[in-house]
Chains A and B, each alone.
Chain A
């Protein structure tokens, strides 16, 4: 009995805080917009009994999803989000891997400090950190001032409000999610494997590609998913650092919700976004399972 309660608790948690909100959003996505509070119909009224419930379900339809296909804004926004997320993930990997590698090859007594430094930015608000990038990247910002004074450039660069600024923001924000899993796999690796590879005729660079990279694969995959999944739906970074032409689904969703007050369409956008992200999440889970099996 006590065991059943212990098992039941997490399920209750999941149902109350995940499944119920999802069902509410899904229901709204099937409703029609209305000028009322809340801004959609129908709303479920149980006082009419069975007839009322039947009428309620009769009014639900997939019109909003059909609408998403008629306006090319939406599929372009989805595609653009996935593209930006993919490029940003690749950039994060390219920057994060060497950092993780350097951390894993640092003397053992330094490593806790280095991990600390990677995690440290989490201690300040994410929003404030993105804002401070605005100060750095702006036309009269610190970056341009430094570059101008060094004479590297003669006129200030336009970085803020472009896709470049979005990439910088994403790479910066999600870097720890890339570094930590890669570091974990590299740190576990036995150094004698590289010596063995060298002993058997590999150069150091070849040994890196043949041994280190394959053995850190699980870390790379985990890091990429951890960066890619939240980035697809990212809203704050593109809206603060991106330009008006930076098209991302998170921004579209926000505008749909707050500017247009069209909750049903916004909900439909969210549901489609979710189903796009579910695919990499499932892949991620499978990767985890495979990794666990390999370790057994």
Chain B
């Protein structure tokens, strides 16, 4: 059988490991979790992402058993876990502070849960050693938590919470205390461990990059509600709301009124450019060719070893005139919507917008890397003129802040494929930003 993509949430026959059923949690008057229902499937790496105070930690603490829902129920394998105290749940938690027992050695910390289960001594030894090996902590077994580094402590906390082989592992900001470099390495390590052990992981984090890296699904939360729960790709490319688009990564939000485009010609759409130049004339010879001396060497000597020299140089096949035409000129000018967003600015064309939105206020959300920047007016459906007011140089990328004629600031991200000295756009330059008619997402909320 072929390895299928891991997407149990799309499989109607899959039974979820965790089910939240209309869960509400109130602390006094404060509603921490507001009537939430969602499922988490076995072997998933599920991220709860949101700003502090959004209820993500409460969600996790309810799973661990430190809080009970005010209303609704949480099912684990179909069984309501509300009456089960934390020490009887097949759920373990890795704490944000790690909560390592300072008076016990690394070995004893990992063995702590196993001893409570009354496991035979030899089995405990085997299991602890397995965990030490998994987290590469063998040589630190005899040390106390204060004698090891932050990264090692983090791994001890992970080993301890995995030792009892829980059905569900909860990770509360597991990498909050690590520096950026170590965090990145640990994220991959965490994914490896999750895959190796086959445990279901639920991670709470406020770091969207971390959530996107590790999780199979990300639930973006705000004020006690999950706004959107989906794969990182969908969350990033297809956010359901302005909140999600804005929370995850950087985004340009252009707000305006939608107008269905139908088949009518659009004055803003560029004219079809003149017919593409003849393909054979344009096709460059890409392969390096031997020079005269090389040819001589080949004919005299090398042909006895590698065969005769091919007279016709090998090159890329000439581009097919039809695909060439489709690729760089004719956009889908039909369908979708145009968004009138500012006086004196051309409407923004979004061919993926729903024409039935006609007359409604919509937001076109676009990632900065989907925009292009140039000094000359590009051949594009959407092109806006502005002035560069800021350039953030991030090494691999540069983010340009371009102030458009009506004062709106657009963020454009470009990969720095050239060295800085050769960069031709600088502060105060008048530039054009452009994007394809499918670059953005049309949002109504």
Contact yes or no, B87 A202, CB < 8 A: yes
Cβ–Cβ < 8 Å partners of B88 in chain A: 201
Cβ–Cβ < 8 Å partners of B65 in chain A: 199
Tell me the chain B residues, 52-104 only, with Cβ under 8 Å from chain A.
64-66, 85-88, 91-93, 95-97, 99, 101-103
Does B112 sit within 8 A of A, measured CB to CB?
yes
Interface residues contributed by chain B, number (CB under 8 Å): 26
Does B116 sit within 8 A of A, measured CB to CB?
yes
Cβ–Cβ < 8 Å partners of B87 in chain A: 198-203
Contact yes or no, B97 A198, CB < 8 A: no
Cβ–Cβ < 8 Å partners of B64 in chain A: 195, 199
Tell me the chain A residues, 201-243 only, with Cβ under 8 Å from chain B.
201-203, 206, 211, 214-215, 217
Does A106 sit within 8 A of B, measured CB to CB?
no
CB proximity of A211 to chain B, nearest CB, Å: 6
Cβ–Cβ < 8 Å partners of B113 in chain A: 200-201
Contact yes or no, A200 B160, CB < 8 A: yes
Q: CB within 8 A of A195: which of B66, B146, B161, B164?
A: B66
Contact-size category for A: 20 to 34
Closest to A201 in B: B116
Q: CB within 8 A of A200: which of B85, B96, B144, B164?
A: B164
Q: A195-B66, A294-B146 are contacts. A201–B99 as well, Cβ < 8 Å? A: no
Mark B106-117 against chain A: 1 for CB-CB distance below 8 A, else 0: 000000110011
Q: Classify the secondary structure of A's interface with B.
A: helix
CB proximity of A218 to chain B, nearest CB, Å: 10
Q: A192-B95, A200-B92, A200-B164 are contacts. A211–B116 as well, Cβ < 8 Å? A: no
Cβ–Cβ < 8 Å partners of B164 in chain A: 200-201
- A214-B86 Cα distance, complex, nearest whole Å: 22
Q: CB within 8 A of B99: which of A195, A206, A217?
A: A195
Contact yes or no, B97 A190, CB < 8 A: yes
CB proximity of B124 to chain A, nearest CB, Å: 13
Contact yes or no, A214 B103, CB < 8 A: yes
- A12-B93 Cα distance, complex, nearest whole Å: 57
* Interface-centre pick from B85, B95, B160 (highest chain A CB count, 10 A): B95
CB proximity of B171 to chain A, nearest CB, Å: 12
Cβ–Cβ < 8 Å partners of A200 in chain B: 87, 92, 112-113, 116, 160-161, 164
Cβ–Cβ < 8 Å partners of A197 in chain B: 101, 112
- A175-B95 Cα distance, complex, nearest whole Å: 36
Does A193 sit within 8 A of B, measured CB to CB?
yes
Q: A203-B87, A215-B102 are contacts. A196–B146 as well, Cβ < 8 Å? A: no
Contact yes or no, B116 A193, CB < 8 A: no
Mark B154-177 against chain A: 1 for CB-CB distance below 8 A, else 0: 000000110010000000000000
Closest to A204 in B: B87
Cβ–Cβ < 8 Å partners of A211 in chain B: 101
Cβ–Cβ < 8 Å partners of A193 in chain B: 99, 101
- A54-B64 Cα distance, complex, nearest whole Å: 81
CB proximity of A221 to chain B, nearest CB, Å: 14
- A198-B85 Cα distance, complex, nearest whole Å: 9
CB proximity of A29 to chain B, nearest CB, Å: 44
- A200-B92 Cα distance, complex, nearest whole Å: 7
Contact yes or no, A196 B99, CB < 8 A: yes
Mark B99-139 against chain A: 1 for CB-CB distance below 8 A, else 0: 10111000000001100110000000000000000000000
Contact yes or no, B95 A196, CB < 8 A: yes
User: 28 A-B pairs, CB-CB below 8 angstroms?
Assistant: A190-B99, A192-B96, A195-B64, A195-B66, A195-B93, A196-B101, A198-B85, A199-B64, A199-B86, A199-B87, A199-B92, A199-B93, A199-B161, A200-B92, A200-B113, A200-B164, A201-B87, A201-B88, A201-B113, A201-B116, A201-B117, A201-B164, A202-B87, A206-B116, A211-B101, A217-B103, A294-B102, A294-B144
